[in-house]
């Protein structure tokens, strides 16, 4: 389905570098040469360990961080070329849900004020009745019913899951084309996570949106996504449909992540013992393939050659110089 749809966003050689405090120090290359198309109507998960650049990438998509070089285009228009008014209109079409539902609101505002604020900012709805109907509709769609009761409450009267539903309602109230959720369930109790995940899936469908879903957890990506992109130290290392990537990972890093997905049988559980160590500090990026210090399949050349994303099969890409010779066992529990 997704690959037949037009790209809603096209990202080309995107680089977002941050200056370091120490003068003359190398900048932090948080996003380092990313190429990616996001297709209309799909759910795309962006997966990676902490510090791999997921948040910076999705913030750059919505023009929330300055792009060092490269481009992000929507419907063929480069964001850099938008005039002020156009940028405002664009902002309405791309909405975010962030990780922390506790931090995002002003505690003194009622749920009605919180969810209606984006409408006011964008001058939508000329009468109170109109605004109210959009707010109630968004609350109901997010499972906060009866809406008129929830609208009167304040954030401290809600549970974590309900607060995240409020964040989602205030994102969808603007009827965005693209909803970007950055780790929206990682701070929630495990018991409410799958309800919130199914809410995203349902809303994507009913609101006919495109959804970009950031998570460090591949099993969450598997639950929600049509396609998955895996990042490692600012670069995409593998990209494919959820089935390709989880069922038949081609890149040694993805393979290690998939092998580490917990399975019901405890004898099969655990992190791939072949992959040692933590994600390298982004400030001291390894030469060649960035994963080489941890990769069980690394050969000498891996510390020199920078692998490009190369096709494995239709829609499936991996960045590894040994793509053609490695035949990684599909992880047994999938």
Ligand X SMILES: Nc1ncnc2c1ncn2[C@@H]1O[C@H](COP(=O)(O)OP(=O)(O)OP(=O)(O)O)[C@@H](O)[C@H]1O
Residues binding Mg ion (CB under 5 A): 55
Q: Measured from the CB of residue 174, what is the shortest distance to Mg ion in angstroms? A: 23
Residue 290 in the binding site for ligand X (CB under 6 A):
no
Q: Applying CB under 6 A, which of residues 101, 155, 307, 331 lies at the interface with ligand SF4?
A: 307
- Between 43 and 55, CB nearer to ligand X: 55
Beta bridge partners of 197: none
Verify binding: residue 302, ligand SF4, rule CB under 6 A: yes
Position 56 contacts ligand X (CB under 6 A):
yes
Based on the shown chain and the rule CB under 6 A, indicate whether residue 74 belongs to the binding site for ligand SF4.
no
The residue written with tokens 């001058």 in the block is 123
Structure tokens at 241: 């449909």
Smallest distance from Mg ion to CB 267, Å: 33
By CB under 6 A, is residue 184 in contact with ligand X? no
Task: List the single partner that 168 binds among ligand X, ligand SF4, Mg ion, none, CB under 5 to 8 Å by kind.
Answer: none
Q: How far apart are CA 188 and CA 271, in angstroms?
A: 23
**Residues recorded for the chain:** 334
Given the complex with ligand X, which of 162 and 239 has the nearer CB atom? 239
Token pair in block for residue 182: 């950055």
Residue 259 interacts with which of ligand SF4, ligand X, Mg ion, none, CB < 5 to 8 Å by class: none
62 binds ligand X (CB under 6 A): no
Stretch of 84-92, 132-140, 172-180, 245-253 contacting ligand SF4, by CB under 6 A: 245-253
Q: Which does 297 bind (CB under 5 to 8 A by kind): ligand SF4, Mg ion, ligand X, none?
A: ligand SF4
**Looking at the DSSP assignment, which residues form a beta bridge with residue 240?**
228
51 binds, among ligand SF4, ligand X, Mg ion, none (CB under 5 to 8 A by kind): ligand X
Question: Which partner from the list ligand X, ligand SF4, Mg ion, none does 7 bind, CB cut-off 5 to 8 Å by kind?
Answer: none
Compose the 272-301 pattern: x for residues touching ligand SF4 by CB under 6 A, - for all others: -----------------x-xx--x-xx---
Binding site for ligand X (CB under 6 A): 18, 28, 30, 48, 50-56, 216, 282
Binding site for ligand SF4 (CB under 6 A): 251-253, 289, 291-292, 295, 297-298, 302, 307, 320-322
């Amino acid at each position: 389905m997704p690959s037949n749809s037009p790209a809603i966003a096209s990202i080309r050689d995107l680089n977002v570098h941050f200056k370091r405090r120490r003068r003359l120090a190398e900048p932090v290359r948080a996003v380092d040469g990313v190429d990616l198309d996001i297709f209309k109507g799909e759910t795309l998960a962006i997966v990676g360990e902490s510090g791999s650049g997921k948040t910076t990438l999705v913030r750059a998509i919505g023009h929330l961080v300055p792009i060092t070089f490269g481009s992000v285009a929507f419907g063929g228009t480069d964001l850099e070329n938008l005039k002020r008014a156009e940028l405002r209109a664009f902002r309405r079409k791309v909405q975010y849900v962030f990780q922390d539902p506790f931090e995002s609101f002003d505690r003194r505002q009622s749920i009605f004020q919180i969810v209606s604020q984006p409408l006011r900012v964008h001058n939508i709805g000329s009468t109170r009745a109109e605004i109210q109907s959009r707010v109630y509709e968004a609350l109901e769609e997010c499972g906060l019913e009866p809406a008129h009761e929830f609208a009167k409450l304040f954030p401290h009267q809600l549970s974590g899951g309900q607060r995240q539903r409020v964040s989602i309602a205030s994102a969808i109230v603007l009827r965005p084309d693209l909803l970007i959720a950055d780790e929206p369930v990682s701070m929630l109790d495990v018991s409410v996570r799958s309800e919130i995940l199914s809410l995203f899936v349902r809303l994507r469908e009913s609101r006919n949106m495109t959804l970009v879903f950031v998570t460090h957890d591949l099993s969450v990506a598997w639950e929600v996504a049509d396609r998955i992109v895996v990042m490692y130290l600012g670069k995409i290392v593998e990209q494919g449909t959820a089935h390709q990537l989880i069922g038949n990972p081609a890149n040694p890093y993805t393979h290690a992540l998939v092998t580490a997905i917990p399975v019901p049988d405890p004898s099969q559980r655990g992190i791939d013992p072949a992959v040692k160590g933590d994600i390298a500090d982004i400030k001291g990026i390894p030469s060649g393939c960035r994963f080489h210090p941890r990769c069980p399949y690394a050969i000498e050349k891996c510390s020199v050659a920078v692998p490009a994303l190369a096709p494995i099969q239709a829609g499936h890409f991996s960045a590894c110089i040994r793509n053609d010779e490695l035949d990684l066992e599909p992880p047994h529990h999938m």
